Amino acid sequence: MAIFDVYVKKLAEYVGEMQVKGRQVREIDCPSVVSKLLEGLPVRVGPQTSSGIVLRGDTLVELGNPATGSCAFLLWTDNPSLIRDGKITLIGPDIQESPGACLPFGQVLMVGGLDLGEGEHEALERNQYIADRIEGYMIRSVSQLMWSRVSKDAAERGFCFETLGRALMAIFKS
């Protein structure tokens, strides 16, 4: 289904524009296989590995608080050549670089597969709001807003946006 293909391309253009404007843009290449994605992560990933609660006093970084803004959406295509499997693009500071901060947050997930249909899209859409599958990470709200917290404990063990991205990739691929 080509409904989102134009937006996948526009997103690539946006990243290029951010680089031209001098914004900090990092690309991280991750493995494609689920077991390799989870290998060496500083936190547990899987069903019910987290209580889903990170209290304010236990928070290192808050992402997408309504006062700072957030956005979350899923783009999918049946043309996998439009998406580079295993790629994480980070625009702005990483978690370790922002202790105590309340940062605006945008999470865009792109999924490609030859046989993706509308039924799969609904399941994929639900998976982007993983409330209890990543240790030390909590999502406070849903519905195209992504208000989340990263615990101090998870950050001390090395939780960063690569950790979040690899965990999300593993969850989606499983």
Digit-coded pLDDT (tens) for 9-53: 999 999 999 999 999 999 999 999 999 999 999 999 988 888 778
pLDDT at 93: 96
Right CATH for 5-173 from 3.30.1650.10, 3.40.50.300, 3.40.1160.10, 3.30.60.50 = 3.30.1650.10
- Where does the pLDDT of residue 116 fall: very low under 50, low under 70, confident under 90, or very high at 90 and above? confident
Calculate the average pLDDT of the chain. 90
- Where does the pLDDT of residue 122 fall: very low under 50, low under 70, confident under 90, or very high at 90 and above? confident
pLDDT at 92: 95
Sorted by where each begins, the domain ranges of the chain are 5-173
pLDDT at 144: 63
pLDDT at 3: 81
**Checking DSSP bridges between strand 137-141 and strand 105-112, what pairing results, if any?**
unpaired
Residue type, 9: K
Query: Helix, strand, coil proportions of the chain in percent (round to 5)?
Result: 35, 25, 40
- Where does the pLDDT of residue 172 fall: very low under 50, low under 70, confident under 90, or very high at 90 and above? confident
Which of 12-16, 20-24, 55-59, 69-73 comes out lowest in average pLDDT? 69-73
Q: Is the pLDDT of residue 70 over 80?
A: yes
pLDDT at 141: 66
| Distance from C-alpha of 40 to C-alpha of 23, rounded to nearest angstrom | 29
